Amino acid sequence: MARYPDVRKGHGLTAIDAVTAIVVLLLVIQMWLLTATLDAFLAGHTETAIPAAIVSGILFAACFVMYRFVARLDRQARSGR
């Protein structure tokens, strides 16, 4: 009976922590991007809106891929129990 996490689980947790840190970093960049774009928009500059949205979309896609990675890792760790 597996009452304690094994070595594989420990590695899984390290990987999940690393991915979570990257996702946090991407989210901070997105927050800055949104703030800067909103500021520019309110100042009457709309030319930055589309490039900012594209970059934000790429960052979201990266976050989603990271989340899928976390979910997959989690599934693997559970099934390997």
Using rule CB under 8 A, residue 27 touches other proteins: yes
In the chain, the N- to C-terminal Cα span, in Å, equals 9
The burial class, CB within 10 Å (0-12 / 13-18 / 19+), for 39 is exposed
Reported residue count of the chain is 81
The least CB distance from residue 7 to other proteins, in Å, is: 13
Using CB under 8 A as the binding rule, the residues of this chain from 52 to 81 that contact other proteins are 52-53, 56-57, 59-60, 63-64, 66-67, 70-71, 74, 77-78, 81
Q: Are 76 and 26 in contact (CB under 8 A)?
A: no
The least CB distance from residue 5 to other proteins, in Å, is: 5
Using rule CB under 8 A, residue 18 touches other proteins: no
Considering only CA atoms, give the Rg of the chain.
Answer: 18
Q: Are 34 and 64 in contact (CB under 8 A)?
A: no
| Chain residues in the site for other proteins (CB under 8 A) | 1-5, 9, 12-13, 16-17, 19-20, 23-24, 26-27, 30-31, 33-34, 37-39, 41-46, 49-50, 52-53, 56-57, 59-60, 63-64, 66-67, 70-71, 74, 77-78, 81
